[in-house]
Structure 1
Amino acid sequence: MSTKEHILEAIRKNKPQGTQYPYPVIPSFPKSTKDIKEEFKENLILNAGTCFTINSIEEGENKIKELHPQAKVICSSAIEFPGNKDLSKVTDPHQMDDVDVGIIRAEFGVSENGMVWLTEKGMMVTSLGFLSQHLIILLKPQDIVRDMYEAYARINLRDNNYGCFMLGPSATADIGAVMVRGAQGARSLSVFFM
């Protein structure tokens, strides 16, 4: 018997059988009384993101052109904006390295910090959320939760192979505290409320 097998066998022998341990009780913390959409917007802007209320597909298309006039490759997993790169033909995540603008629908947002929850279902190809130069996240205002406690309660990890919270564009700083945007992800992130 190998050392690993010996350790695992000892764990199996000493594991309590049939004992269920309840989850700890989460205290009820005071919640913000701010308008949930405005709080989300404020916190996203604090983290270098931008927000726009979009009332129609045409308005959204015009806003994309306004924000990213030089964009040549637009790839979208959202049916509202098809883009010009077909995600269904992507067989290798590295094929997303030429995407100027990636468009993804978030499952929900979190007002206390301005984050959005993205899954492989929403991205279709996960590298869309990380290799795109600029991200546009579509979010229904009614899909914003107040805080991370509500967010974690809403996530069903059994339904997703991959999910992540994303906040604003990529940001990193070196030892000299020089802030660099886009070094390890999107250079900009805009949320379209629609």
Structure 2
Amino acid sequence: MHQPTWRAVALPVLVLLASLTACSSGAGARISGDADDTPAAVRTPAPERTASAEPDRVTIASIGVDSALLPLGLNQDGTVEVPPARQGMTAGWYTGGAVPGERGAAVIIGHNDTRFGKAVFHDLRDLREGADVAVRNSVGKTAHFTVTATETVSKRAFPTKKVYGSTNDRALRLITCDGAFDTQGHPVDNLIVYAELAQP
């Protein structure tokens, strides 16, 4: 399946309440599919897109993150892609969400750890309210976001609508794995960081 472009996601997408796993094993949140997949399906309009340049780097100085951004689309099963395990030190931007700085929810996903070792969002749990997250785009313009909240959630109860749903805010969400491991060695939780565009 080809990776969706902004034109492809301009139509409404079907967001299903499923967990997102930003780890080397496990499935991503299901963003498209049939309504019959789950009774908890929520229809969410895709964000409006302008001609803004796409993001290519995220920097979080307070926890030592300085990473290029990979474009992430959807897998064939409708789940969100995650960065390849071999590129664990590189975060990714979900192209089906907003461009960071535009109206809507922009989502950046990064591994905590992979089988190759420590990954880009390993220290995301240390991020505190008020911290700065800078996202630069391909023409060199940087949008600064201020962290407003963090939460750890079970992957079985991932708040898909809250993370990916429509919003009038210029919002950013950072996602990685967290918590204990299940019997197969997969983290059972996700850590979500919420941020809003900083006022100039």
Is the structural similarity TM-score above 0.5? no
TM-score for both structures, normalised by structure 2: 0.24
TM-score for both structures, normalised by structure 1: 0.25
- Rg larger in structure: 1
Q: Which has a greater percent of helix?
A: 1
